[in-house]
Chain A
């Protein structure tokens, strides 16, 4: 394999349902300042910057043009990826491998509370000719997928509810999480039905925040950082997006992205060789569906594993110790960012009350949300 690359600095604002006292630029500035301080670098030391944004969510038709200043990247090599944060991380990783410079930066942001018509914005992501004329909520897509997932795998709504209970509980002990709460499974099952079998509590509430990550090639990483967290494998994949042609039975995009990352990392048995994972759980069932797609569990086994506490912080394979999207909040394009942030914290031993013992390898996985079929995976080791 070519050069080794490590994460040497992380910074975040934390994640809250609203952030009325700061602008989206100030969110990024705070995360960047903390990440650069953490890494012991200044913007002038950074070879290239990769930002993440989605125009409709940011409220600009060229939101990428508004990325440089708050990152310290004015008149520097920078571009913006309209994907998940982990796509940007992959680009920043490639910048180093391709010799642009030994240090690079990936940034992501959510200011979802600025968006007054979030539901319409997601609807606007659907096909205008075949789907939008029905004027159905985009949550119907999640309801349709959840129903097929339960049918395919024998997973129960109760097992999905356990994911919600676990993740929102984990969020209570994560000072960065915005939606921690103690609830019981009945509360989830009896909350308002949005698109059966999906209830209000199965849906992650949105959050604002920013994450900045500093990467460095081996020599620089060792010089600058006591606890470099190495990128062992990274992968990304998109299924056909149309509701008419996609695979409704499985999250094949997550499977392919994971296999790409496993291959790079030399991992054959993910359940044994990976200690814990941050998995995209924008909807409760997605955590289970993604675990099965990524071969952590066999088909139909993620629900039962969750039921017996196997994915709790104290379990055999902890999932979403951060609280996940359900407990931290749905950060849209930044979802992969908070997952990477948590995996790095765990591997450094800085995860506070939710700290896992003796962990050496963690996985962060994300998905771009409805109606997409795009997934990303990164595997990190200390």
Chain B
């Protein structure tokens, strides 16, 4: 096919469809180990940098501002926070329309500078507002497996 020629029919255009399976295991790391062992206990753990006066959630082993090690600075930050921002999402991660939209929120955990991204439940979307106090609702203890999904969702504090 020379440069001056052009395809006349879309069905004549050649292509090859290729896919390949790529599977991973992601280790949670030392701070993740602490965070997810404690989530099984119904607790949320952060890490505090005293020098910067910043509490990170989830826990991390270093302060990203001053680069100090925070491995012995883990602390229970409680399970309450405030809605920092929120959205009602109508699309799955595959880009397909959901049957029922979900409320996704960024929760700032009280007394910290850290956020968790999670669902908001037990409320209508129209009633959600920025600054609204919320708390984590955990799965039944026997169903927890050390995952961010051990938190079912956050719910408004009445």
Interface residues of A (CB under 8 A from B): 20-21, 59, 116-120, 123, 128-140, 143-148, 151, 192-198, 240, 243-245, 248
Contact A144 B86 (CB under 8 A): yes
Interface residues of B (CB under 8 A from A): 6-7, 10, 13, 15, 17-18, 24, 26, 28, 32, 56-58, 64, 84-95, 102, 104-106, 113-119, 125, 130, 147-149
Contact B91 A139 (CB under 8 A): yes
Question: Which residues of chain B are within 8 angstroms of A244 by Cβ–Cβ distance?
Answer: 56-58, 114-117
Contact B115 A134 (CB under 8 A): no
Contact A136 B149 (CB under 8 A): no
Known: A117-B94, A139-B89, A193-B88. A134 touches B114 (CB 8 A): no
Beyond A144-B105, A193-B88, 6 extra complex contacts between A and B, CB < 8 Å: A21-B6, A129-B28, A137-B91, A144-B117, A148-B84, A196-B87
CB distance from A150 to the nearest CB of B (A): 9
CB distance from A312 to the nearest CB of B (A): 30
Question: Which residues of chain A are within 8 angstroms of B104 by Cβ–Cβ distance?
Answer: 134, 136, 140, 143-144, 195
12 example contacts (A-B, Cβ-Cβ < 8 A) are as follows A21-B6, A131-B117, A133-B147, A135-B92, A135-B93, A137-B95, A143-B89, A144-B86, A243-B106, A244-B114, A244-B117, A245-B113
Contact B6 A144 (CB under 8 A): no
Write the chain A residue with the least CB distance to B92: A137
Known: A120-B93, A137-B95, A196-B88. A245 touches B56 (CB 8 A): yes
Contact B95 A118 (CB under 8 A): yes
Write the chain A residue with the least CB distance to B15: A20
Contact A194 B58 (CB under 8 A): no
How far apart are the CA atoms of A131 and B105 in the complex, in Å? 12
CB distance from B19 to the nearest CB of A (A): 8
How far apart are the CA atoms of A40 and B125 in the complex, in Å? 59
Contact A134 B84 (CB under 8 A): no
Contact A147 B114 (CB under 8 A): no
CB distance from A132 to the nearest CB of B (A): 8
Known: A136-B104, A137-B95, A144-B106. A198 touches B87 (CB 8 A): yes
Interface centre among A129, A138, A148, A197 (most CB of B within 10 A): A129
Write the chain A residue with the least CB distance to B129: A151
Contact B117 A248 (CB under 8 A): no
Question: Which residues of chain A are within 8 angstroms of B86 by Cβ–Cβ distance?
Answer: 144, 147
Contact A136 B93 (CB under 8 A): yes
Write the chain A residue with the least CB distance to B113: A245
Question: Which residues of chain A are within 8 angstroms of B26 by Cβ–Cβ distance?
Answer: 128-129
How far apart are the CA atoms of A117 and B87 in the complex, in Å? 23
Question: Which residues of chain B are within 8 angstroms of A118 by Cβ–Cβ distance?
Answer: 95
Contact B89 A128 (CB under 8 A): no
How far apart are the CA atoms of A145 and B107 in the complex, in Å? 13
How far apart are the CA atoms of A145 and B10 in the complex, in Å? 40
